[in-house]
Amino acid sequence: MALSSTLNLIKHLLILFLLHIPSHNSSYLEYADALSKSILFFEGQRSGYLPNDQRIVWRSNSGLGDGWEVSADLTGGYYDAGDNVKFNFPMAFTTTMLAWSVIEFGDSMPAGELRNALVAVRWATDYLLKTVSQLPNRIFVQVGDPIKDHNCWERPEDMDTARTVYTVEAPNTVSDVAGETAAALAASSIAFRSSDPAYSETLLRTAVKAFEFADTYRGAYSDNSDIRDGDELLWGAAWLRRASQDDSYLNYIQNNGKTLGADDNINEFGWDNKHAGLNVLVSKEVLEGNMYSLQSYKASADSFMCTLTPDSDSSHIEYTPGGLIYRPGGSNLQHATTISFLLLVYANYLQRSSQSVSCGSISVGPTKLRQMAKRQVDYILGENPKGMSYMVGYSNYYPQRIHHRGSSLPSIEDHPQMIACKEGSVYFNSSDPNPNVLVGAIVGGPGEDDAYDDNRVDFRKSEPTTYINAPFVGVLAYFVANPNPS
């Protein structure tokens, strides 16, 4: 009887405690749920042999012969979007952003989610190590013929399109892909430093080789006629500097900025343009390390923050009526997630150095930057004119017809027979919801008028990508620990 009375008292006190939890704890639970799902998404994008602890169970093994035509093992890695091609350039950027999320905000992640985030990073880095395993003479940059792949609508498990391996042999140029790969491996080496020192050292050592290839044969893979991808060279050098603390990379950033176009397009950041991210990353050396020789990078980072601030004299970023950062071209939420990430990282650097940004007639401090980021996050998670979460599986109202082959076609378990290239068209054109929920996927998002039609055919709005999710992992981790920044 005494034990029963004690248990009832504990139960009563627990109910009272839960009823009186401050409202911000509900925000904690929401951000924590979104964080967990944002990481889980990457398991739905996996290529290769899936492990026994695979949590998105409607996916199965795929791409098991990748690399055979060049006598190399190129299995693994991620499909970067709703198709079945492995594009190493955006995959490497995804990896860099996942690793940066862990570096800056890993301390804010629950232990289990930090572990899951590192698993997501390693699924990418294990593959990227394979792509640069034949340096210094050759680098693999892509697996899968995009034209043939995009002409089919089939599950990755059923792929019968050409798994062409795209390679670059020295002295042909590939500074963009190799530079981003160097950045990804260097950033990941920091992320793994405490949990797996030996793997961390392998990543850093390989990053050095990838950067040497990128710098020796300067020029873009996508356009070998000129050197217009210097941002990846500076980005790779900046990450190698942070990972190794080697002064040679510091000198590289100082001495090559003007030559490699550090002042170009400073208000852009994404898988194909690193300028704004580069400036924020390098500003840490100025703000926290007093490296005033890099002041020009900090000036560009400050300028970028001012352009984002609506009441700043130099504001020129477009917002939708509902408050979402908007840039034309489709897949708009990639801008909202990457910019939110940079806002939070820069806010941390400013706070640790007790500084703010002068934007003409106003001064912008860390709190303002964090509030701006929170507005973007909350919009994505449902505080928008449609009341829709643009993260699949989060809340009760989210996109049901995303542009994604594996999600929209019946699973192997439900439909063991192969669904050939053109046989999938009936599912593509169907108005039915996708049978498989790709939990955590963030779609391209609404247009400039906040409109979203949940249409599988409209890939610019309905297709998820790894490089939308990757920075959002870090952003959500911050808000798990700080749901109401002040």
> With DSSP H G I counted as helix, E B as strand and the rest as coil, what are the percentages for the chain, rounded to 5?
50, 5, 40
Distances in Å between the alpha carbon of 293 and those of 183, 264, 284? 22, 19, 12
Which SS3 state, helix, strand or coil, does residue 381 take?
helix
Phi, psi of 218 (to 5 degrees): -75, 135
Per-residue DSSP letter, 432: S
* 113 catalytic residue (yes or no): no
d(CA 469, CA 402): 15
Cβ neighbours for 120, distance < 8 A, ≥ 6 positions apart: 39, 42, 43, 98, 473
* 463 catalytic residue (yes or no): yes
Tokens of 303: 């300028």
Count the neighbouring beta carbons within 10 Å of the beta carbon of residue 169: 11
Catalytic residue among 157, 403, 404, 450: 403
C-alpha 307: how far from chain center = 23
* Sequential DSSP letters for 8-53: HHHHHHHHHHHHTS-THHHHHHHHHHHHHHHHHGGGGGB-BSPPTT
d(CA 278, CA 275): 5
Per-residue DSSP letter, 260: T
Catalytic residue among 73, 126, 423, 454: 454
d(CA 210, CA 172): 14
Catalytic center residues:
403, 454, 463
